[in-house]
Amino acid sequence: MASVELKGLGKRYGDAVALADVNLHIQHGQLVCLLGPSGCGKTTTLRLIAGFIEPTAGEIVVGGKVLSSTTRTVAPEGRNMSMIFQSYALWPHMTVAENVAYGLKIRKMNRETIAEKLKTILSTARLEALADRYPAELSGGQQQRVSLARAMVVEPETLLLDEPLSNLDANLREEMRFEIRRLHDRYRYTTVYVTHDQAEAMTTADLIAVMNGGRIEQVGTPQEIYKRPRSAFVARFIGGSNILTGKALDARRVAVGDSVLVTDGRALRTGETVPISIRQHEIALLAAQPEQSENVLRAVVARCVFLGSARDYTLTLEDKSELRLTAPADREIDPGQHVWLRLPADRCQALSGGNEA
C-alpha cells in the first residue's frame, strides 16, 4: 500500500479551469471519497491520479514517488493502480473466474499462484457459486462484485473507483455500499472513491473531501463533515441544511431580523454578515410562544407534506425567507397557522463566507 498526496494540483482546458490548487493527503490504507455535484472536478482528479490525463499545475506523489507533474507523467500501466468504472467493463466472452484471473495471467503468474489467489478473492467477494457464469447471466450487483474482485486480486497499491454504483437500483446501491466497505476492511488498499451520492460517501469513507467548482471545500470524517460544515455549500450538500443570514452582535450571538441566535462553531467578529446552518430535524416546532426569546423565531406554516414516518414543513419567516423542518408524523399544523421555532444553540453552526459590515 502507498499514501497518495496531491500538491497544488490543477488542470485547465484552454481558458476553462477544471481543477484549481487541490491539496489532499491520503494515508496508507485509507478510503477517501471525493464528493460533489457534476462538474465539480472529482472525476478529473481521479483521472489525474490514474495517469489518464496530465496536470497543468502541481504534482501527484504516491508512496514518496512523483508520478505526475507538469514536466513528467508516469503512464497508467506503471502506477500499480486498479480502476473500477461505472460500466464494470467485464469481458462478455469470459466467465467470472476468467475475468477475475485476467490481470494475474497478463502478469505471467504461475498456475498454482493464480488458482490460490482466485480461490481466495472469489470466497471473499462471495462469488464462488458464480465462478462459471458469464457477465450476461449476472445481476448488476453481481457484476459489480466481479469488477471489485478483478481489481483487488492483483494487489494494487491504490484502488480507484469512479461512480461504481451509479448503474444500480436503489436497493442494490445500498447493499453494495456495505460490500465495498467490507472488502476495503479486508484488504486495506489505499482507495479513492468518486461519488455524488452523500449516502455512499457517509457509508464507505474514512475521510470525505467535498468538492465544488474545481476546489476542495472541506475534508473530514463523515461525522465531522456532517456536524461541523464550514461553508454554506457543504452544509447544503451534506444532509440538507437551512441557511439563515444575520449580523454578528458579538463572538457568539447573531441578529436575525428581530431575533437573536446564539451560535456554535467559529468565533464571530462584531458586525460581520454570518451565514448560519441548521438541519431540518434539529428545529423544534412550537404551537405557543415560549418564555425564552433567544434562539426562537416566529413563522407561518406555508406547506405541510405527509411523508408516512414524518411531516415535511415549509415555513415563512417574518423577513419572508423560507425555512424547512421535519416533524413527527402525528404533528399536524395547517398552512396559514402562526408557530414558533426553537433552534438549539449547539445546532446553529456559524459558517465561513460572511464579510464585515
CATH no. for residue 170? 3.40.50.300
Give all strands of the β-sheet with 190-195 in edge-to-edge order.
81-84, 158-162, 190-195, 31-35, 207-212, 215-220
Same domain? 216 vs 302: no
State the pLDDT at residue 37: 94
State the pLDDT at residue 6: 97
Once rounded to an integer, what is the mean pLDDT over residues 278-294? Answer: 91
Same domain? 172 vs 247: no
Once rounded to an integer, what is the mean pLDDT over residues 48-63? Answer: 96
Confidence band, pLDDT 50/70/90 cuts, at residue 187: confident
Per-residue pLDDT of 103-134, as tens digits, reads 899 888 999 999 999 999 999 888 999 999 99
Same domain? 207 vs 271: no
| CATH number of the domain enclosing 263 | 2.40.50.140
CB-CB contact of 122 with 131 (8 Å): yes
Give the integer Cα–Cα distance in Å for 124 and 319. 58
Same domain? 145 vs 212: yes
**232 domain residue, yes or no:** no
Same domain? 223 vs 250: no
Give the integer Cα–Cα distance in Å for 50 and 60. 10
Tell whether the model's pLDDT for residue 354 goes beyond 80. Answer: no
Average pLDDT, the chain: 92
State the pLDDT at residue 7: 97
- What domain range is 201 assigned to? 4-227
Once rounded to an integer, what is the mean pLDDT over residues 135-151? Answer: 89
Same domain? 204 vs 177: yes
Confidence band, pLDDT 50/70/90 cuts, at residue 250: very high
**Domain end: 227, 253, 286, which one?**
227
Same domain? 266 vs 223: no
Give the integer Cα–Cα distance in Å for 335 and 184. 49
**294 domain residue, yes or no:** yes
Give the integer Cα–Cα distance in Å for 144 and 89. 10
Confidence band, pLDDT 50/70/90 cuts, at residue 352: confident
**302 domain residue, yes or no:** yes
**117 domain residue, yes or no:** yes
| Phi, psi (rounded to 5 degrees) for 114 | -60, -45
Same domain? 118 vs 248: no
Same domain? 338 vs 193: no
Contacts of 19 (CB under 8 A, 6+ apart): 9, 10, 11, 41, 44, 45, 48, 55, 214, 215
Q: If you search the block for the grid coordinates 497543468, which residue do you land on?
A: 56
**180 domain residue, yes or no:** yes
Confidence band, pLDDT 50/70/90 cuts, at residue 183: confident
Same domain? 259 vs 330: yes
**Domain end: 166, 196, 227, which one?**
227
**356 domain residue, yes or no:** no
Q: How many CA atoms lie within 13 A of 305 on its CB side?
A: 8
Tell whether the model's pLDDT for residue 357 goes beyond 50. Answer: no
CB-CB contact of 194 with 84 (8 Å): no
**329 domain residue, yes or no:** yes
Tell whether the model's pLDDT for residue 353 goes beyond 80. Answer: no
Give the integer Cα–Cα distance in Å for 356 and 7. 32
**150 domain residue, yes or no:** yes
**Domain end: 227, 258, 284, which one?**
227
Tell whether the model's pLDDT for residue 1 goes beyond 80. Answer: no
Once rounded to an integer, what is the mean pLDDT over residues 234-246? Answer: 90
Same domain? 75 vs 175: yes
For the chain, how many structural domains are there in total? 2
State the pLDDT at residue 356: 42
Quick one: which of 187, 186, 96 has its CA closest to 136?
A: 96
Give the integer Cα–Cα distance in Å for 248 and 96. 61
Q: If you search the block for the grid coordinates 472513491, which residue do you land on?
A: 193
Share of the chain above pLDDT 90, in %: 76
Same domain? 194 vs 251: no
